[in-house]
Structure 1
């Protein structure tokens, strides 16, 4: 069997394994938190419940945000109910409508898309119920009570600056985009390209989307490697896609020849970095975003003034400080 036929077969086999099982997480991994509907804590005052609609509880990074919410709710004795929209826009809008009908005092929303964000915010505003949007920004979010997130342009800039440093200002770069049209995809890639424009020796030779997904990242990297295009670095909008890229490169023994960079600093990514397989990531403090959202919603429900935008800073992670960020998950 030729190598050209063998590699796609190996990639296909690994994709099946990835879909059935991911890298084992520590006991403290937020992805092990209760799913679907959950009451984080009983409340001391009637009517202080917060309704939380999450676009997809199976998304690993979102599970970290959710865990941050639950910890904050428990700590502050806030009753919060969590529901999974299962990446269904109309279902999320229905969930928000049901929350309003049930008498929640505030809503926290991780939106599925722009349509669900727009409709959910309109419903909450019409009912005079505070609504706090977390992590996923769309233009309609400006009409919400508050937005909690991190500056994606900064993430892409920090990420690419470190890659340019490792490349010593020269090399071919492949960019893996997340879900096209999302704020994180657009701004992180914009940040990447702004840095590249200041480094004439660096060239973008390949660019495509893998929708923030590890298996899709692996398939895309396999396609790029099969093209024969020389690649010195792969820069991804998130960690899940870059892990997939690393696994695909490993199949052809190319992983040691390429610089890999992601965003989020998830526990899985930090383990890859500790093993010397990932060179750059940018810590997005998901638990802090979740905690800030619960606090903002609780404060707004109590009639307190909350900031319109609550931004949680990004932090660069490399082999030199990886242990510090591993400790954050333990």
Structure 2
């Protein structure tokens, strides 16, 4: 985002971190409105709790652009979402897992925060694809709240049940890495683990052969797209209410391409 602002030449930005606290995020939006900013770009803490922030921006006639996490409301004029189709991430992930599993086996799902649209849609994507394969069964799904440590604990519990686990589909890379660490600690081999995001850490695990695949979420593209959309709204230009940045599948065959992207 900062690079995109610098490239434009006439745009400056103020950045705030809500640290996962929706009350704090609402306060930050109130502060931006009081300052009379030209536009607000927001990655919502809770995709179901955005109405107060929409009301604040709309009342002040300040363009509001949501990025990365799609708000679960219909956006009024002067607002937009820039991000990716979360369900598609789950579908891409599970289609590749199904191929690697030869269409049969038991799957566990590690979910993110249940309040997030990305969690629900990525999980639905996995479930919809799995349902097309009679030989694939989803045994359990639990929330690890996007965290590596939480995923270690959940995966350890799964292993201790003694159930046959053939694959773990994780809503993000951090939880996928947690699953891998738990499997290694339990000396359990032969489990395919898949993530979403394409983080530098995940690419290293793909390189080593520990992570079967990830789905690249173009954070840079989303950030730049959000800035561009905000600029267009400030200028009074017409924009799409949903600006979608495509996902891409990452495997051991092409991980280097995405490692290069992360370095740019």
Which structure has the bigger radius of gyration?
Answer: 1
1:219 partner SS: helix
- Rate the CA distance shift 1:115–1:323 in 2: closer, same or farther, 3 A: closer
CA distance in 1, matches of 2:2, 2:33: 21
**2:106 corresponds to which of 172, 185, 193:** 172
Give the Cα–Cα distance (whole angstroms) in 2 for the partners of residues 97 and 252 of structure 1: 49
How many residues were matched structurally? 261
1:190 matches 2:124: yes
- Deviation per CA, 1:282-329: give whole Å up to 9, x if none: 001011101110111112112222221100000011111111111111
Q: What is the CA deviation profile of residues 1-42 of structure 1, one whole-angstrom value per residue up to 9, with x for unaligned ones?
A: xxxxxxxxxxxxxxxxxxxxxxxxxxxxxxxxxxxxxxxxxx
1:241 equivalenced with 2:175 (yes/no): yes
How far apart in 1 are the matches of 2:52 and 2:147? Answer: 27
Distance in 1 of aligned mates of 2:127 and 2:28: 38
> Runs of 5+ in structure 1 lacking a partner?
1-68
Please give the alpha-carbon distance, in whole angstroms, between the structure 2 residues aligned to 1:234 and 1:81. 39
Partner of 2:88: 154
1:297 to 201, 219, 230: 230
Could you tell me how far apart the structure 2 residues matched to 1:266 and 1:141 are? 31
SS at the partner of 2:50? helix
Q: Contact between 2:48 and 2:116, CA under 8 Å: does it hold in 1?
A: no
Alignment partners' CA distance in 1, 2:48 and 2:142: 24
Q: Does 1:73 align with 2:1?
A: no
Cα distance, 1:139 vs structure 2: 2.1
Alignment of 1:1-330 (within 5 A): 69-77=1-9, 78-114=11-47, 116-140=49-73, 142-143=75-76, 145-254=79-188, 256-330=189-263
Residue 122 of structure 1, CA deviation: 0.7
What is the distance in 1 between the residues matched to 2:17 and 2:141?
32
- Select between 89-98 and 272-281 the one with higher mean Cα deviation: 89-98
CA contact (8 A) 1:180 1:186 kept: yes
The separation in 2 between residues aligned to 1:258 and 1:116, in whole angstroms, is: 37
- Conservation of the 8 A alpha-carbon contact between 1:273 and 1:322: yes
In structure 2, the residue corresponding to 1:142 is in which secondary structure?
coil
SS of residue in 2 equivalent to 1:84: coil
Distance in 2 between residues matched to 1:178 and 1:285, nearest whole Å: 18
SS at the partner of 2:73?
helix
Deviation of 1:114 (Å): 4.0
Normalising by structure 2, we get a TM-score of 0.96
- Alpha-carbon contact 2:48-2:115 (below 8 Å) kept: no
Report if the CA contact (8 A) 1:117-1:138 is conserved. yes
Q: Could you tell me how far 1:181 is from its partner in structure 2?
A: 3.6
Measure, in 2, the Cα distance between the counterparts of 1:160 and 1:211.
Answer: 20
RMSD: 1.2
Give the CA deviation at 1:116: 4.6
Question: Which segments of structure 1 move beyond 4 Å, counting only runs of 4 or more?
Answer: none
Contact 2:18/2:24, CA 8 A, preserved across alignment: yes
1:196 shift after superposition:
0.9
Aligned to 1:158, what secondary structure does the other structure show?
Answer: helix
